[in-house]
Chains A and B, each alone.
Chain A
Amino acid sequence: MIEFNNVSLCLNDRLVLNNLSFKMDPGKSVLLVGSSGAGKSTILRLILRLIKPTSGKIIIMGKNTSDISEDEMNKIRQKFGLVFQDNALFDSLSVEENVGFFLIENLHLPYEEVHRRVIEIVTFFGLEKFLDYYPSELSGGMKKRVAIARAIVTHPVILLYDEPTAGLDPLSAKKVVDLIKNLRENFDVTSLIVTHEIHHFVGSIDRLLMLKNATIAYDGAPDISILDHFEEIEAQNNCKPGEETYGNL
């Protein structure tokens, strides 16, 4: 379904990904972890060809994304759902309009059908009382739920989550994690979850990919010992003596 073959990417003279290779099978839930700046979100952008690799092949649904036109790529993109780290909700549209946006734009459904589907999905997400609210009027957790609702409403084949629990309080984060689990059970959708907050997702994934030094350091079952090792790396990365940290602010 998604295949990376020796993909390398250089951004601003920095090697972000080096000969990265992995394959994702349908129906599986994969967790991609790595420390901040390791290139996790970049992989999502590569999958959707929002950026192009410096070298290597990315094959999505049997098609090499480097060889296809923008129109063909757009058709592939319409089979994905992407939840952005900062939600990327349209701030001039209400919750209902945000969730229904791609139903109108991509599927060209009539208003009644859009409304029916939106109501169905926002009810599932517990947002039915907030249909007329604008993103600026919602809490962080609610915005995240709207973003996930917008991603799932078009019935995508693959769902990509970019740091779905980042910036949320523990309670909201748990709600979002439960929601992702529910979606997998109810909609049987293939998921790729990018995060550095592994502990939230332990027990609800089929496979773990760990990024380290621009390549995949671990690919296999979600092993607790690996997670401990990852947390050590994370701690080391966060506490380098004399490191300037203001650049990340």
Chain B
Amino acid sequence: MAKTINKYLGRFKLSTPYKSIWNIIDWLKFSFKTFINFKQIFRYRGETFKQIYILGNQALPLVIFASMFVSMVLTLEWGKKLEPFGAKLMLGRIVSISVIREIGPMVTGLMVAGRTGAKIVSEIGNMVLTQQVDALRAYGIDPIKRLIVPRVFASFIVMAPLTILGDTMGIIAGWFTAVIFSGVDSQFFWLSVRDGLFLKDLIIGIVKPPFFGFLIGVISGYFGYTIQGGAEGMGKAATRTVMYASIGVLVLDFILTITMLQLY
């Protein structure tokens, strides 16, 4: 029956869903293999530190820039909405909680998904297409341990510091906007920040980003490692990486938020 339908509808239509399911299973196996090999970072510590340095440095300006501007827009919008209620003094609390719990991790995740994800997929993909990965395998080196693990671990580990820096700059940008454009007193802003923030907010804000980093790393690593079809394949892999990593960050953020709200 399936063969008959296949014959008339064309092979692509029937095989696509099966292929997608197979790809998801394959990606899960790839992610699991990467995770259980995290201990390899000690063996390849030079490569791991190099990747941490490169990924962190490359994503930092983007994360700071994006966090600052999102935070400034948020401050302006809330400043306008709170003004009729005489509640502008709450601005520091609202901005800091929003930035630390949600906007900071989310913006960092999305920026890293674009910047780091594209870097990892193009780097690994190019190595696959030029047989450099085959060369590693041919000489008895596992490319997942040698290439993927250091990059995924770097992506995992840089997320928390990037988020902290993004949050800090975001709150400072919010303060600047509140004082200059919304007319909030500087001292009141910082008092509001201090009174509004609790330890659990900081924990929630710090726990999420490493999960995003791991997800971005394994998605980009997988698409790079399974690349096919030369330059066209590279374009497709890069597009898929940014798309799936961004969607993945949004979905994972939702799941983690639900989980943490249950815990706290």
Q: Which of B130, B132, B134, B139 sits near A106, CB closer than 8 Å?
A: B139
Q: For B130, give its contact among A45, A82, A88 (CB under 8 Å).
A: A88
Interface hit among A53-61, A72-80, A174-182, A216-224: A72-80
Distance in angstroms between the alpha carbons of A121 and B119 in the assembled complex: 34
A102 to B146, CA, bound (A): 12
| Docked-complex contact A88 and B140, CB < 8 angstroms | no
Q: For the complex, what is the distance from the CA of A154 to the CA of B132, rounded to whole Å? A: 18
Contact residues in B for A91 (Cβ distance below 8 Å): 126, 130, 132
B32–chain A nearest beta-carbon distance, Å:
15
Do A82 and B132 touch (CB < 8 A)?
no
Of A50, A70, A74, A102, the residue contacting B134 (CB under 8 A) is: A50
Would you call B142 an interface residue if the criterion is a C-beta within 8 Å of the partner chain's C-beta atoms? yes
Residues A48 and B138 in contact, CB atoms below 8 Å apart: yes
Interface residue from A70, A82, A86 paired with B139 (Cβ < 8 Å): A82
Tell me if B131 and A106 are in contact (CB < 8 A): no
User: How far, in whole Å, are A154 and B140 apart by their CA atoms in the complex?
Assistant: 12
Within 8 A of B (CB), among A31-49: 45, 48
Contact A88 B131 (CB under 8 A): yes
Q: Which residues of the other chain, B, contact A88 by a CB distance below 8 angstroms? A: 130-132, 134-135
Q: Is the CB of A84 within 8 A of B134?
A: yes
How many positions in chain A have a CB within 8 Å of any CB in the partner chain? 22
Which residues of the partner chain B approach A102 to less than 8 Å between Cβ atoms?
139, 141
The smallest beta-carbon distance between B110 and chain A, in angstroms, is 28
* Set of chain B residues within 8 Å of A73, measured between Cβ atoms: 140
A50:B137 contact, CB within 8 angstroms: yes
**A105 on the interface (CB 8 Å rule)?**
yes
Docked complex Cα distance between A154 and B130 (Å) = 22
Alpha-carbon separation in the docked complex, A80 to B140 (Å):
9
- Check: A22 CB closer than 8 A to any chain B CB: no
Chain B minimum-CB-distance residue to A90: B132
Given contacts A88-B130, A91-B130, contact A82 B141 (CB under 8 A): no
Are A84 and B140 in contact, with the CB atoms below 8 A?
Answer: no
Q: In the complex the two chains form, what is the Cα distance from A90 to B128 in whole Å?
A: 11
User: Is there an interface contact between B141 and A105, defined as CB atoms closer than 8 Å?
Assistant: yes
| Distance (whole angstroms) from the CB of B48 to the closest CB of chain A | 15
Contact A80 B138 (CB under 8 A): yes
Measured CB to CB, the nearest residue on chain A to B146 is A105
CA distance A91 to B140 in the complex (A): 19
* Residue numbers in A under 8 Å from B130 (CB-CB): 86, 88, 91
B134 and A78 contacting across the interface, CB-CB below 8 Å: no
Query: Smallest CB–CB gap between B104 and chain A, Å?
Result: 33
Q: Mark A75-113, 1 if CB is under 8 A from B, else 0.
A: 111101010101011110000000000100110000000
Interface, chain A (partner B; CB < 8 A) = 45, 48, 50, 70, 73-78, 80, 82, 84, 86, 88-91, 102, 105-106, 154
The 16 listed contacts between A and B (C-beta, < 8 Å) are A45-B134, A50-B137, A50-B138, A74-B142, A76-B140, A77-B138, A77-B139, A77-B140, A80-B139, A91-B126, A102-B139, A102-B141, A105-B139, A105-B141, A106-B141, A154-B139
Top 3 A-B pairs, shortest CB-CB distance: A77-B140, A74-B140, A88-B131
Given A48-B137, A90-B135, A106-B139, 15 new contacts (CB under 8 A): A74-B141, A75-B140, A76-B140, A77-B137, A78-B139, A82-B138, A84-B131, A86-B130, A88-B131, A88-B132, A88-B135, A89-B132, A91-B126, A102-B141, A105-B139
